[in-house]
Amino acid sequence: MNTASTQPASEDYTTIIGLEVHVQLQTKTKLFCGCSTTFGAPPNTQVCPVCLGLPGSLPVMNRRAFDLAIRAALALDCTIAPFTKWDRKNYYYPDLPKGYQISQYDLPFSSDGALEVSDPKGAFASRKVRIIRVHLEEDAGKSMHDEAAGKADSRIDLNRAGTPLCEIVTQPDLRSPQEARAWLNELKLLLVYLGVSDCNMQEGSLRVDANINLHIPVGERIAKTPIVEIKNMNSFRSVERALTYEAARQWEEWRATGAELGTSPKQTRGWDDPAGVTRAQRHKEESSDYRYFPEPDLVPVTVSEAEVAAARAAMGEPPTVLRRKLAETWSISAYDADVLVNQGRDLVSYFEDLAARIGEGKLASNWMQQDVLRTLNERGGSIKDFPIRPDALADLVGRVRNGDFDTSRGREIFAEMLASNKTVAEVVGSMGIAAVGDDEMLSLCRELIAANPKIVADVKGGKEQAAAGLIGQAKKKNPNVNPGKVRALCLDLIRQMG
Ligand SMILES: [Zn+2]
């Protein structure tokens, strides 16, 4: 299929997208046993009779996992159920030796939430995405097909079996692949801020399945294409690409066959990232195929209002609240607040420290974005290890603001502070940079005026911009001068000449 030549116009249909996200909770141990959840251990070294499902072993719920899940659900505006239970989801697969997964079926611990996403750059309007439910379940193991060097075999690693997962299911409220990606970014940011999960997709801590179909106006009615569930997307970028491909594919298929929702079954397709296409997979089981029944080895969980209130109080500030707070406290734009908050809590703390020291949010935000963030992007590393601490940067920014040196000089000093770990005073000393005194400035400007009668005549004739010629010469004579001060002083002197 050549999607490039048949790219449909966006007004031809509405794209309907819902997401199902599995997030690994940040616990040291598994959901129903004491085995470690540390990533990267040799295969099958983090297992015990419980997570292997050996006869006679009994699961015990990890309270820490449950508390983290409550925190996530509250942050997603969900209602917490006062009574919740566990169910067995039965299916056979080599990486599930128990033959069932402990999950939650008809009484999930939370439901009816929402998470809003907006784009301060204005690519799409703000959108509230409703969340149907958030429930807890244990992960299965991992099958590794042909992953051992060149051998056509399959191996099973059960280290993951029993790892606590939160499953977050949205209503189909998203309307474009770009929105879906932005919403996932917001979800990830939220869960990382609250310490619920590290959301590391490479390590499998966050996995996404997406449901998509098209609503196509045909005369008076809306034709709906069959819903497709896309799997195997290993980055948010892949999610956006897969959904973009799939929307175009469904449009083509509908034009060719007219297949509609209800007349053909729900399909599962896998994303082939290198090829950039989705491919049909096995028929997806209906929930009745899993023969859910209540888990007899675990007691139901009751959650009191007091426990919910305590969890809410201990939750910490989610990104939405923090963005508003930064914008209000420091008089910075929504866009600036967004850039800072999206970098994570440590960077926000650094910014708040810097802004408080210099007493000016916008100036602090400019230095954060133009200098600190740019440096982090170029060099890598985290703000925690950034060599220039907020007090040292505040010293530099304060001196630039006072006119001790101009911004470009300030940047040179910043670079030298980064390279040498020196303070502003030490760098200024070693670079031979000194603030230029008033007398020195006055004699320099007088000298420039005397040497440039043409510029003086132009300025007197009303062309103030001609004074720019004097600044270049002043910088040559003394690189430490502040261009703004030179300009103001020269204009003053010329005016005094009458
Ligand atoms: Zn175990």
Whether residue 261 is contained in a domain is answered as: yes
pLDDT of residue 289: 84
Q: How far is the CA of 479 from the centre of ligand 1 (A)?
A: 68
The residue to which tokens 């958030």 are assigned: 134
Residues 334, 300: one domain?
Answer: no
Residues 445, 405: one domain?
Answer: no
Residues 202, 53: one domain?
Answer: yes
Q: How far is the CA of 35 from the centre of ligand 1 (A)?
A: 4
Task: With 0.85 as the threshold, say if the pTM is over it.
Answer: no
Q: How far is the CA of 98 from the centre of ligand 1 (A)?
A: 12
pLDDT of residue 487: 85
**pLDDT beyond 90 at 153:** no
Residues 270, 415: one domain?
Answer: no
Q: How far is the CA of 49 from the centre of ligand 1 (A)?
A: 6
**What's the pLDDT tens digit per position in 39-79?**
999 999 999 999 999 999 999 999 999 999 999 999 999 99
**pLDDT beyond 50 at 1:** no
Q: How far is the CA of 292 from the centre of ligand 1 (A)?
A: 23
Q: How far is the CA of 100 from the centre of ligand 1 (A)?
A: 15
Residues 129, 66: one domain?
Answer: yes
Of the listed ranges 117-121, 259-263, 340-344, 445-449, the one predicted with least confidence? 117-121
**pLDDT beyond 70 at 107:** yes
Report, in angstroms and rounded to the nearest whole number, the Rg of the chain calculated over CA atoms.
31
Rounded distance between C-alpha atoms, residue 235 and residue 328, angstroms? 34
Number of domains within the chain: 3
Residues 283, 377: one domain?
Answer: no
Whether residue 5 is contained in a domain is answered as: no
**What's the pLDDT tens digit per position in 193-213?**
999 999 999 999 999 999 999
Q: How far is the CA of 48 from the centre of ligand 1 (A)?
A: 4
The residue to which tokens 């028929």 are assigned: 283
Q: Compute the average pLDDT of residues 18-28.
A: 97
> What's the token pair of residue 132?
């149907």
Residues 324, 223: one domain?
Answer: no
Question: What is residue 146's DSSP assignment?
Answer: S
Task: Print the domain residue range for 122.
Answer: 10-305
Percent of the chain with pLDDT over 70: 95
Q: What is the mean pLDDT of the chain?
A: 90
Q: How far is the CA of 18 from the centre of ligand 1 (A)?
A: 33
Q: How far is the CA of 206 from the centre of ligand 1 (A)?
A: 21
Q: How far is the CA of 335 from the centre of ligand 1 (A)?
A: 46
Whether residue 310 is contained in a domain is answered as: no
Residues 234, 87: one domain?
Answer: yes
Rounded distance between C-alpha atoms, residue 198 and residue 337, angstroms? 22
Q: How many CB atoms lie within 10 A of CB 248?
A: 18
Q: Compute the average pLDDT of residues 261-269.
A: 83
CATH of the domain at 469: 1.10.10
pLDDT of residue 5: 42
Question: Which of 305, 339, 365 corresponds to the end of one domain?
Answer: 305
Indicate the pLDDT class of residue 263, thresholds 50, 70 and 90: confident
Q: How far is the CA of 403 from the centre of ligand 1 (A)?
A: 64
**What's the pLDDT tens digit per position in 387-399?**
999 999 999 999 9
Q: How far is the CA of 289 from the centre of ligand 1 (A)?
A: 27
Q: How far is the CA of 50 from the centre of ligand 1 (A)?
A: 5
Q: How far is the CA of 23 from the centre of ligand 1 (A)?
A: 19
Question: Which of 375, 409, 430 corresponds to the end of one domain?
Answer: 430
Q: Compute the average pLDDT of residues 85-97.
A: 94
Q: How far is the CA of 32 from the centre of ligand 1 (A)?
A: 7
Residues 58, 187: one domain?
Answer: yes
Residues 410, 365: one domain?
Answer: yes
Q: How far is the CA of 114 from the centre of ligand 1 (A)?
A: 34
**pLDDT beyond 80 at 438:** no
Q: How far is the CA of 73 from the centre of ligand 1 (A)?
A: 26
Which residues, in sequence order, are bridge partners of residue 47?
none
Whether residue 2 is contained in a domain is answered as: no
Residues 237, 327: one domain?
Answer: no
3-state secondary structure 259-307: CCECCECCEEEEEECCCCEEEECCCCCCHHHHCCEECCCCCCEECCHHH
Q: How far is the CA of 182 from the centre of ligand 1 (A)?
A: 36
Whether residue 3 is contained in a domain is answered as: no
Q: How far is the CA of 139 from the centre of ligand 1 (A)?
A: 12
**pLDDT beyond 90 at 99:** yes
Q: How far is the CA of 57 from the centre of ligand 1 (A)?
A: 10
| DSSP line for 399-450 | HHHHTSS-HHHHHHHHHHHHHH---HHHHHHHTT--PPPHHHHHHHHHHHHH
Q: Compute the average pLDDT of residues 209-225.
A: 95
**pLDDT beyond 70 at 146:** no
pLDDT of residue 2: 41
Q: How far is the CA of 299 from the centre of ligand 1 (A)?
A: 19
Residues 15, 133: one domain?
Answer: yes
Can you state the angle between helices 236-257 and 177-193, rounded to 10 degrees? 150
The pairing of beta strand 228-233 with beta strand 267-272:
parallel
Whether residue 405 is contained in a domain is answered as: yes
Whether residue 364 is contained in a domain is answered as: yes
Whether residue 149 is contained in a domain is answered as: yes
Q: How far is the CA of 27 from the centre of ligand 1 (A)?
A: 13
Q: How far is the CA of 97 from the centre of ligand 1 (A)?
A: 13
Question: Which of 305, 330, 361 corresponds to the end of one domain?
Answer: 305
pLDDT of residue 285: 64
Q: Compute the average pLDDT of residues 347-357.
A: 96
